[in-house]
Structure 1
C-alpha cells in the first residue's frame, strides 16, 4: 500500500492504495465519483476520460499512484458548485448530444480538453478529437453539433439527424 495525495475537482484527498489500483477504480471505489464510467477496460471506448494536470487521460490506463501530487478533474467537477451545467453540458442537453448517457461523461471531458486547446474547432477537428471515444447510440452527429455550439459557433444550419 502506498499513500497518494491529489487534488480532485478542487479538493485535496489522501488515501492509501495498492500499487495496481487503476485511476478509474480509485475514483469510483475510493472517492465514490461514479460519473467516470468503466466501459471496456482496454482504453478503447473513452468512457473513463478525465483530466490530469490539464491533460486528457483515460483513467483505465493510469495507476492511481501516478496521480500523486496531480490536479485531477472528473465529470463531477464540470458543473458549477450550485449544480448549474457548464456550457458543454448545457449544449449536450440542448442539442440532444446524448441518448443512453453511458459515453457522455467521457465525451464531455474530451470536449472540454478540445475546446481548451482549440476554442473554435471545425466539424472535422471535433470528429478527429473524438476518435478515441465510442458512442453506440447517437451516431455522433448531435455530439459534434453540441461541441461546436459549446464553442459559441452558430450550428443553426446543421440539420439534426
Structure 2
C-alpha cells in the first residue's frame, strides 16, 4: 500500500484495517502523533488528511487512499501551521504537552477552512481534550492568528 505523508511517498505492508496511528508510530517512526484513548475521544492522535482534522487512532489505513496526510512532524512546513506553532509558544499553551500535537493539528485545520473563526467556530473545531485545561490560551492564540488588524493575522506574511 502506498501513502503520501508529509509530502513523501511511503510503501507500507500492513492490513487495510490497521489504524493510521499505528502505521505512523510503529511502521514509520513518526512518534509526534500521540496515542491517547484509542476511541477517537481525546484527539491526541489528530492528523490532517487532505487538510481535514482526523483521529488517526480509528482511521483504517486502507481508507486513506491517495489522500495527503500531514503529521505534526511537518506542520511547520505549512504557512498556517507554522504560525499556529508560534502562537502556541507566545500564549504558552503547552503545559504537559501531551495533547498539543493534536491541538495544533486541529487548530491548523480550522484556520485552513475559516481564516476568521468566531468563538462558536473555535468551540466546534477545538474538541480535543487537554488535561491541563489550556482551553483559554488555545482560544486566545487562535483569535490572535485570525486578527489581521495589526498585521499579525493569517492574511499577512
Q: Same fold (TM over 0.5)?
A: yes
From 123, 130, 139, give the equivalent of 1:135: 130
Could you list the runs of 4 or more consecutive aligned residues of structure 1 that deviate by over 3 angstroms after TM superposition?
152-155
Structure 1: gaps (5+ residues): 156-161
2:83 equivalent to 1:90: no
From 147, 152, 155, give the equivalent of 2:147: 152
Q: Note if contact 1:98-1:143 (Cα within 8 Å) is conserved in structure 2.
A: no
Structure 2: gaps (5+ residues): 151-157
From 33, 43, 52, give the equivalent of 1:55: 52
What's the counterpart of residue 153 of structure 2?
none
Deviation at 1:88, TM superposition (A): 0.1
What's the counterpart of residue 118 of structure 2?
122
2:100 equivalent to 1:104: yes
The alignment of Structure 1 onto Structure 2 pairs a total of residues equal to 148
Cα-Cα RMSD: 1.9
From 34, 38, 47, give the equivalent of 1:41: 38
- Greater displacement, 144-153 / 89-98: 144-153
